[in-house]
Every structure is written in structure tokens, then in C-alpha cells.
């Protein structure tokens, strides 16, 4: 059964709003825990609501609906929307330094949702369900590191 696009947009928009309001605070906490200087983990240059493989902004967050939309409980009207939160980071020559940056950044990204899985009471739950990492060579031989977190955002029809 297909989901009304309204539910998809609500799930994505709610995740974007949560990252906009909480990401900087989580980056600051991770910096402190890792004895980094304030500002070492720079906030996202952009946050997009779609997949943009050719956008060179760095760090770049892309938050969008992933494939496989389905009904969790048709009688109860609970909809589950798969949402991807993807970090894209352009590294300099030292890939080891870039990998450490990405690991710390992803820690903050995950905490944004884990600390409040209802996203401020806007959804039933945003449950972390998977992660994927990859590296690509972009323009000018820059290595881009990508890390995707997958969440299942559960909404009730009444929330829409």
C-alpha cells in the first residue's frame, strides 16, 4: 500500500527540523568529550531534503525519504517512513584525519535522534535501524567520505 506523500514529507521535514535545532549542540558535546577545540566539528554547510550526489558542500547533510515505504499497522493507522540521514565530507590528503572527523560527526548525528526518538513529540518514534559508509573520488581527485544513517520514522494518521 502506498503512503500519502504528506506522511513522507512530514517525516522528512520533522527530521530536518530536529537536526537544525540540535546538531550544533551535539557537535559541541562530542568536541568536549574528545578534547577537541571548539569549532573543530564544523556545523553542516548545508542541509538538504534530497539526495544530491554532485553537491560539493562539506560537511553536507542530506535528509530524505528512502525506498520501501510501508504500513506498520493498517488498522491502527501507524505509518513507517524510512528516512536516510547522510553526511558527505570532502577530505584533505590525510584520510586518517578525515575518518576520525567523520566518526565523531556521525556520533553527534546519531545522538540527535537517540536522545529524543519522538523528535520533540512530533512523531511516535524515529528508530535507528542501519548505517552504511562509502568513499568516492570527486572533482579534483578529492576523496569524499559518505556515511548514511537509516531511521524508521513512525507516524500515526492523527499526527498528520
Q: Are strands 46-48 and 60-65 parallel, antiparallel or unpaired?
A: parallel
pLDDT digits (tens, 9 = 90+) for 6-18: 888 899 999 999 9
What domains are there in the chain, each with its CATH number?
A: 5-159 (3.30.70)
Taking each helix axis from N to C end, the angle separating 5-33 and 95-114, rounded to the nearest 10 degrees, works out to 120
Sorting pLDDT into bands at 50, 70 and 90, what band is 74? low
pLDDT digits (tens, 9 = 90+) for 78-126: 888 899 999 999 887 788 888 899 999 999 999 999 999 999 999 999 9
Amino acid at each position: 500500500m502506498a503512503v500519502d506523500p504528506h506522511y513522507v514529507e512530514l517525516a522528512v521535514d520533522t527530521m530536518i527540523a530536529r537536526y537544525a535545532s540540535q546538531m550544533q549542540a551535539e557537535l559541541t558535546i562530542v568536541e568536549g568529550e574528545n578534547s577537541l577545540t571548539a569549532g573543530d566539528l564544523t556545523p553542516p554547510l548545508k542541509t538538504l531534503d534530497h539526495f544530491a550526489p554532485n553537491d560539493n558542500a562539506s560537511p553536507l547533510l542530506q535528509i530524505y525519504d528512502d525506498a520501501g515505504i510501508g504500513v506498520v499497522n493498517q488498522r491502527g493507522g501507524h505509518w513507517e517512513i524510512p528516512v536516510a540521514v547522510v553526511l558527505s565530507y570532502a577530505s584533505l590528503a590525510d584520510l586518517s584525519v578525515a575518518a576520525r572527523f567523520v566518526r565523531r560527526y556521525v556520533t553527534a548525528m546519531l545522538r540527535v535522534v537517540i536522545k529524543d526518538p519522538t523528535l520533540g513529540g512530533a512523531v511516535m518514534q524515529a528508530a535507528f535501524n542501519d548505517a552504511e559508509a562509502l568513499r568516492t573520488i570527486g572533482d579534483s581527485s578529492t576523496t569524499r567520505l559518505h556515511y548514511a544513517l537509516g531511521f524508521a520514522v513512525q507516524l500515526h494518521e492523527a499526527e498528520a
